[in-house]
Amino acid sequence: MNDFRQQFRTAVRAPGGDALESFMLLDGRYSNFTKETFFLRYAGGQSCARDMDRLRAWAGQGGRGGRAFEPALRSQIPAGEAARYVELYGGGQVRFPFRFENRIWQEALEEGFRQIVEQFRRVRGRSEDAILRNFAVKILYWIDTYFPVLFTETVKMDRFPKFACGGTVKLAGYLFLYLLFLLGCDVLYISPTGEAAVEDRELLGLSLPVKAAPPAPAPRPVERERQEVPRSGRPTISVDAVRRPERDRPAPGTPPRGPATAGGARQPLEFEELARSASSVVMLKVFDDRDQCFKTGSGVIVSDKGYVLTNLHVVNGGRYYGILLEEETDIFYTSELIKYHQDFDLAVLRMEKRRKPIPISDGTRRLVRGQKVVAIGSPLGLFNSVSDGIISGFRDMEKVSMIQFTAPVSHGSSGGALLDMYGDLIGLITAGYDDGQNLNLAVDCQTIARFVRGLV
């Protein structure tokens, strides 16, 4: 197995990055019998108790087997069962209480067990039979306890497991977590300090220390004249799109930027020119564990490295994603959810295909009510529809700055682009009121810029 620490660091390094959420959502790729895997020591600090509740809820969600959270590894073998594990140990001729039907994975288990036994011998500096037997018996007990929950498929692993635990992890527990890591299981140990009760530096080097992200500051308002959204009339988030995509005529070219005058100032674009930005807005198809597309949405290419910005509620619950681009007949698939932020309702996917990005507004032009805007998305599965309207207000929803606009959007537009007349991204379409006409909301560009910092 390979760890993919650099990808994990990239996901959490930027402001707003959340190591815990990245652990829960990031899945390493598997190819040529190599699985990208990580083993984390997570320092939760003062938020550790809250984060453990998040992990408990994550592990308890239905529909996604192969993941588990334990507040602490079970340290006591139930009375009367110890003799069974001693017998399985067999004086070193080990018989495992759990077996993979896939021969390669069974051999990986046997080799991983041999490795952690050798690490135990090295760290302890002694190898008396009784000490080694006690260690092996505890590992066999944990294999018997946790493997059936984590490795729900023993022939072909379509989804690799994730295991998180808290409590005090000593040498035997740490080596058990390392065994899970060797078998392709993503592992997270969480405590206030993130430090296991292991002094050996070589062993500690097998895991990556990460810290809880500091609380994100509240977004700066775009305009002083803001109003709180009333408690009644909650906006509804986009749901499944049920129609087959109907592509309008693809517009050639790359996203436009407003032409400059002789003095260097950019000039507004015509609607026909702004519509060309649709080449950098994508339609997303979200697939479940049964390879069924159960909802669709939109996304905006914001980097020439293949990063696609969308809403978290669009991609949430997906096993992998299909990306549709203008002027392309193929669907591009990805399972790389690089980063997300639950409060902002933002997420970033990465695809192999490259397109020029839509530039994010730098905020130098003040947004005002009444200014013209253009929305691009895939409402009801109608691929890359373009509509126009105006900014009708600015709202703060649970401390997230939103732009209220009138350009018509529908279910499936979530994650689409809201552009100013210069072709810059000023918002990401997020929600609308079903019981109102043209009452739509977009996460503003300042929040977006903070979220994607380090990726764009």
- Same-domain check for residues 337 and 189: no
Q: pLDDT of 229-288, one tens digit each?
A: 333 333 333 333 323 333 333 344 445 555 554 455 678 898 888 888 889 999 999 998
Query: Which pLDDT score is estimated for 38?
Result: 84
Query: Which pLDDT score is estimated for 28?
Result: 59
Query: Which pLDDT score is estimated for 408?
Result: 81
As a whole number of Å, the end-to-end CA separation of the chain is 30
Domain assignment of residue 387, yes or no? yes
Mean pLDDT of 382-407: 87
- Is the pLDDT at 187 greater than 90, yes or no? yes
Mean pLDDT of 299-315: 93
Domain assignment of residue 216, yes or no? no
Q: How far is CA 119 from CA 9, 180, 367, 435, in A?
A: 27, 15, 61, 63
Query: Which pLDDT score is estimated for 259?
Result: 52
Q: Which of 34-38, 289-293, 345-349, 441-445 has the lowest average pLDDT?
A: 34-38
Number of structural domains (the chain) is 2
- Same-domain check for residues 159 and 292: no
Q: Last residue of some domain: 154, 184, 211?
A: 211
Look at the block and give the residue holding tokens 């990031």: 26
Across 56-95, b (16+ Cβ under 10 Å) vs e yields eebbeeeeeebbbbbeebeeebeeeeeeebbebbeeeebe
Domain assignment of residue 219, yes or no? no
Query: Which pLDDT score is estimated for 44?
Result: 86
Label each residue of the chain as H, E or C: CEECHHHHHHHHHCCCCCHHHHHHHCCCCEECCEEEECEEEEECHHHHHHHHHHHHHHHHCCCCCCEEEECCCCCCCCCCCHHHHHHHHHHHCCCCCCCCCCHHHHHHHHHHHHHHHHHHHHHHCCCCHHHHHHHHHHHHHHHHHHHHHHCCCCCCCCCCCEEEECCCCCHHHHHHHHHHHHCCCEEEEEECCCCCCCCCHHHHCCCEEEECCCCCCCCCCCCCCCEECCCCCCCEECCCCCCCCCCCCCCCCCCCCCCECCCCCECCCCHHHHHHHHHHEEEEEEECCCCCEEEEEEEEECCCCCEEEECHHHHCCCCEEEEECCCCCCCEEECCEEEEECCCCEEEEECCCCCCCCCECCCCCCCCCCCEEEEEECHHHCCCEEEEEEEEEEEEECCEEEEEECCCCCCCCCCCEEECCCCCEEEEEEEECCCCCCCEEEEEHHHHHHHHCCCC
Q: Which of 54-68, 353-367, 368-382, 399-413 has the lowest average pLDDT?
A: 54-68
- Is the pLDDT at 447 greater than 90, yes or no? yes
Q: Which of 119-133, 205-219, 369-383 has the lowest average pLDDT?
A: 205-219
Domain assignment of residue 281, yes or no? yes
Q: Which pTM does this prediction carry?
A: 0.52
- Same-domain check for residues 21 and 88: yes
Query: Which pLDDT score is estimated for 246?
Result: 36
- Contact assessment for residue 235 and residue 432, using Cβ atoms and an 8 Å cutoff: yes
Read off the CATH number of the domain in which 399 is found: 2.40.10.120
Q: Which of 14-28, 133-147, 283-297, 382-396 has the lowest average pLDDT?
A: 14-28
- Same-domain check for residues 13 and 44: yes
- Same-domain check for residues 329 and 446: yes
Domain hosting residue 405, numbered range: 229-452
pLDDT band at 405 (very low <50, low <70, confident <90, very high): very high
Domain assignment of residue 222, yes or no? no
- Is the pLDDT at 19 greater than 80, yes or no? no
The mean pLDDT of the chain is 81
Query: Which pLDDT score is estimated for 229?
Result: 38
- Same-domain check for residues 327 and 423: yes
Domain assignment of residue 26, yes or no? yes
Domain assignment of residue 217, yes or no? no
Measured CA to CA, the distance from residue 123 to residue 178 in angstroms comes to 14
- Is the pLDDT at 219 greater than 80, yes or no? no
Query: Which pLDDT score is estimated for 264?
Result: 54
Q: pLDDT of 59-91, one tens digit each?
A: 876 445 688 999 999 988 988 899 999 999 998
Mean pLDDT of 348-365: 91
Q: Which of 93-107, 209-223, 328-342, 402-416 has the lowest average pLDDT?
A: 209-223
- Is the pLDDT at 227 greater than 80, yes or no? no
- Same-domain check for residues 396 and 423: yes
Q: Which residue has the higher pLDDT, 55 or 252?
A: 55
Q: Last residue of some domain: 146, 178, 211?
A: 211
Domain assignment of residue 284, yes or no? yes
Q: Which residue has the higher pLDDT, 411 or 38?
A: 38
- Same-domain check for residues 299 and 351: yes
Query: Which pLDDT score is estimated for 327?
Result: 81
Q: Which residue has the higher pLDDT, 36 or 291?
A: 291
Q: How far is CA 391 from CA 143, 322, 403, in A?
A: 58, 31, 7
- Is the pLDDT at 215 greater than 70, yes or no? no
Q: Last residue of some domain: 183, 211, 239?
A: 211
- Same-domain check for residues 183 and 292: no
- Same-domain check for residues 300 and 329: yes
**Sheet containing 293-301, strands listed edge to edge, beginning at the edge strand earlier in sequence:** 332-334, 320-324, 281-287, 293-301, 307-310, 346-350, 337-341
Measured CA to CA, the distance from residue 199 to residue 177 in angstroms comes to 16
- Same-domain check for residues 12 and 114: yes
